Amino acid sequence: MEGTDVKKHLSDEEKFFDEEYIKDPQHGSKISWCWGVWEKEYIFDVMSDKIYGKKLLDLGCGPATSVKDLINPISYNFSYTGVDISQRMLDIAKTNIPSGKFIKCDIENLPFEDESFDFVIGLGLFHHLPSHEQGIKEAFRVLKKRGIFACREPSEKVFRKHGESPHEKGIETLKFIKICENYGEILVFKRINTPLLSKSISLFNRLHIPLPNSRYFWSIKKSADEAILNHLAKKIKWFEGNDFILVARKK
């Protein structure tokens, strides 16, 4: 992608998320348990006994609700830095994590020295970037040796072209894994949110029937997803999860 195209891409995404805040000032004030039940088990529970006294960088942190509710920096005593392209999202994040440090910047050109952080996470970030490869490269550049990288992303099955924001596009999963393997050892790769149940939820949304944002509700859905993934998905590829979680250790 040419320089002018990259600038437009980033400007469009920044404008979209700034306007999301204007439409809904409470955007991100509560965790979305749709993702939280998966992030807790496969990302934050993996980190919880190792993060004390360490440094965590949250790429594309948005309102930082997952970190606030699942592994709060005060409770777990670690240093938190959140970066995002949207100043309005960072403003919300500051209220959610008052002890954190927040910087508005381009994720593909991070303003940090090499090997600055023990943990680097990106929850639904990389599919918004002009270059997934450059974003991954930067994430591992600022990660210390043997540090942990973790992300949660939509696959190419979710939207092959674009989603809600101007340039977001589903991740080519196998290509993404191979890029990560250039920098680290894959510890966890988990497909999540099976299409069978996701389509049912989409139907509720189209009918404007609100779904509860309750941990209990989404934990039940997660259990159903797990059963499908462990049985049907092994026989019929269509049942594979729409999204994935990946955790890697830097070489």
**What's the pLDDT at 16?**
74
**What's the pLDDT at 48?**
92
Per-residue pLDDT tens digits for 38-84: 999 999 999 999 999 999 999 999 999 999 999 999 999 999 999 99
**What's the pLDDT at 165?**
73
**What's the pLDDT at 170?**
84
**What's the pLDDT at 9?**
79
**What's the pLDDT at 30?**
75
**What's the pLDDT at 193?**
85
In 3D, which of 216, 217, 215, 188 has the Cα closest to residue 204?
217
Q: What's at 34, amino acid-wise?
A: C
Residue pair 164/154 in contact (Cβ under 8 Å)? The answer is no
Domain 3-194+243-250: CATH architecture, name and number where available: 3-Layer(aba) Sandwich (3.40)
In angstroms, the Cα distances linking 210 to 204, 207, 213, 246 are: 7, 9, 9, 30
- Per-residue pLDDT tens, the chain, 251 aa: give them: 556 577 787 677 767 777 765 566 555 667 888 889 999 999 999 999 999 999 999 999 999 999 999 999 999 999 999 999 999 889 999 999 999 999 999 999 999 999 999 999 999 999 999 889 999 999 999 999 999 999 999 888 776 555 567 678 889 999 999 999 999 999 999 999 877 666 676 666 667 777 778 888 889 888 988 888 888 777 777 777 889 999 999 99
Classify strands 79-84 and 101-104 as parallel, antiparallel or unpaired. Answer: parallel
How is the chain split into domains, by residue range? Answer: 3-194+243-250
pTM over the 0.95 mark: no
**What's the pLDDT at 77?**
96
